Amino acid sequence: MTIYVPFCKKHHIEPRNPESYFSQKRDPFKNKVKSDFVKDRRRIKREYDEYKVRINGLPDAIRRRSDAYHAREEIQAMNQQREKAKAGGDEVIEPIKIAKATWMADGTHWPGTWLHPSQDHSRGDHAGIIQVMLKPPADMPVYGRGEKSPIDFHDIDIRLPMLVYMSREKRPGYDHNKKAGAMNALVRASAILSNGPFILNLDCDHYVYNSLAFREGLCFMMDRGGDRLCYVQFPQRFEGIDPSDRYANHNTVFFDVNMRALDGLQGPVYVGTGCLFRRIALYGFDPPRSKDRSSGLFSCCIPRRRKASASANSEETTALRMGDFDNDDMNLASFPKKFGNSSFLIDSIPVAEFQGRPLADHPSVKNGRPPGALTVPREMLDASIVAEAISVISCWYEEKTEWGTRVGWIYGSVTEDVVTGYRMHNRGWKSVYCVTSRDAFRGTAPINLTDRLHQVLRWATGSVEIFFSRNNAFLASSKMKILQRIAYLNVGIYPFTSIFLIVYCFLPALSLFSGQFIVQTLNITFLVYLLIITVTLMLLALLEIKWSGIALEEWWRNEQFWLIGGTSAHLAAVVQGLLKVVAGIEISFTLTSKSATDDEEDEYADLYEVKWTSLMIPPLVIIMINLVAIAVGFSRTIYSTIPQWSKLLGGVFFAFWVLAHLYPFAKGLMGRRGRTPTIVYVWSGLVAITISLLWIAIKPPSLQASNQVGGSFTFP
């Protein structure tokens, strides 16, 4: 890192992720004009390859070192026991069992999980860890060495930002609240160690693809009026997706249509990664220059009495004022109840608020900071500061505080990201959607069908939880705009559309089975309604494609997976969400698998792997029923006395339309080169036989039935 980062600065390297940069398939020398670039790049590449080899050998080195230390400990313990036995006159020496610890290079125990887990050193039972890998940089630029060094950095600022490794304490019996708890621990520790006014949140499978994205996000935050922005959300972009994007992993309709539309309201929702936060907004404060207004869905239309304003001051909507800690000692006294009893953390809050203010360089800037106010040197880190940071990441620190309820990431939902953003918008904050010309961040996404369905199931279950919780947009305060409220309502309601979607997918098959069309007669009124709906949907699709600039194929892939997810994961989410809300049955989710195969020759090997899951049953049943229904409809027409093919058109058309949407699902079941698992054939056969027997039992074939086809079509 000490030479790679200056190398990137010197030659303007993008992206700065070394693995991504060195694995690029395009010409690395394009637009490079410095004569020493080839030499520098060759040196950096060799250093990086050697670094990867050292990392690969690190587990074996740690294991050998730990075995050596363990053997030494056993010998010392045996010698001590023998000396005690001689002194006491005991002839029998009991065997000694010493926990096999994991040792660090400095000869001390690793405080986290050991290679051989034991008490206080296992997953879910270990102490908090903070290790400062790189100290805070100097205030003034530090330039590198000149031509005598392997790489010439004489005019390059070689300072590196502070790098800290953190692992929060975990103990049995304490709920660690998964990602939300980890983020809150990170916010507290960073407040003591660095206290930056802005926080960038990236998932572990994402990396920075555009180093200038930070500046573009800060431009919004530090602009005039930007002090009312709680976060800047960047779109998610993915690598390793199959060229056809079979399961709509790019999700361009959401990121390039929906999120851009929300940007014109109160701002986009928080999607869990690629987001630049204002620290003071995470602390639960109201935006500056905010005014108390009564809450409720119809408060904008129906005036309320002054007493009604108390309803807006509930625990969910009330927050501290940005200026409260300037002159109000009562609020300072209440900070320990809200943020915990760490004096370091409490003292850092007004500092973070002041640092995040826009520069007061214009009379229109209110609540700004004067130029040069941030030139005061930082306090150096010492053992007491690090010890305080370790204390705020302990598992007991959040007890009897408002962390997870009104402060930081909100607990109680598997989609804590949406709830956290909702709470900020509910206090009156705004957010911004920042789309950079070069992708800001990139990550990976599951290309396997089963993994993708499980991912969608997790999101949908979180939405159902939101709908049945106090975070339902129906209960939002009046500080949230009405259209923003509708957008959040859609976030909580969309899984319930799966119920109607299932019915719609079965209707064409039922019409073919029963011999009756969806409507009694195909008259002009029905055709007009159908034409109006079709034209409206086509115009909406055209507007989405034209306005956002997405391709027609991307839009169609999104429509296909909307039906696939709606008939599988969304339906299961409704059931699981109701079980959790009504019966109190908790649903556990595993992390989304990004890569499940070891096939290094095929980049998309995971795409063709078929892993059975119960989520596949509803779409599979829909496919089989529609196929059997089409076969029944054709057989009726063929064996009827007077075949009337036009009467079959309606039911078959809608059945094929359903099957067209489910085509990626069927293709995913085929695996590579049609290698379908036996379980798929078993289910398909059982479903086909069951539907056929049901049809025969409900409506046995007769002479009268043989003359009927897929319904009666009468044109006026």
DSSP annotation of 285 reads B
- The Cα 665–Cα 569 span in angstroms is 13
As a whole number of angstroms, the distance between CA 352 and CA 339 comes to 14
Element (H, E) at 276: strand 275-278
Residue 283's CB: how many other CB atoms inside 10 A? 23
Task: Please say whether the beta carbons of 272 and 417 come within 8 A.
Answer: yes
Q: In this structure, are residues 673 and 610 in contact, taking their beta carbons and an 8 Å threshold?
A: no
Three-class secondary structure assignment of 441-458: EEEECCCCHHHHHHHHHH
Q: For residue 135, which phi and psi values (nearest 5 degrees)?
A: -75, 165
**Angle subtended at Cα 95 by Cα 92 and Cα 99, rounded to the nearest 5 degrees:** 155
Of 668, 685, 625, 665, nearest in space to 504 by CA: 625
Q: Binding residue per annotation — 307?
A: no
For residue 618, say if its preceding peptide bond is cis, omega within 30 degrees of 0.
no
Strands (E), 168-208: 198-201, 206-208
Which two tokens mark 243? 């060229």
| Bridging pattern class, strands 237-239 and 441-444 | parallel
Q: 56-59: which pairs have CB atoms within 8 A and are 24 or more residues apart?
A: none
Instruction: Name which of 633, 623, 363, 360 is nearest 512 in CA terms.
Output: 633
Q: Is residue 400 marked as binding? A: no
DSSP 8-state class, residue 166: E
Three-state SS for 700? coil
Q: Is 179 annotated as a binding residue?
A: yes
Q: Of 322, 274, 6, give the one whose Cα is nearest residue 153.
A: 6
CA dihedral 192, 193, 199, 200 (to 10 degrees): -150
- The span from the CA of 218 to the CA of 637, in Å, is 67
One-letter amino acid for residue 314 of the chain: S
CB 479 within 8 A of CB 289: no
Spatial distance between the Cα atoms of 449 and 592, rounded to a whole number of angstroms: 12
For residue 443, the tally of other CB atoms under 10 A from its CB is 19
- Known binding site: residues? 178-179, 203
- Known binding site for UDP-alpha-D-glucose: residues? 178
- Known binding site for Mn(2+): residues? 179, 203
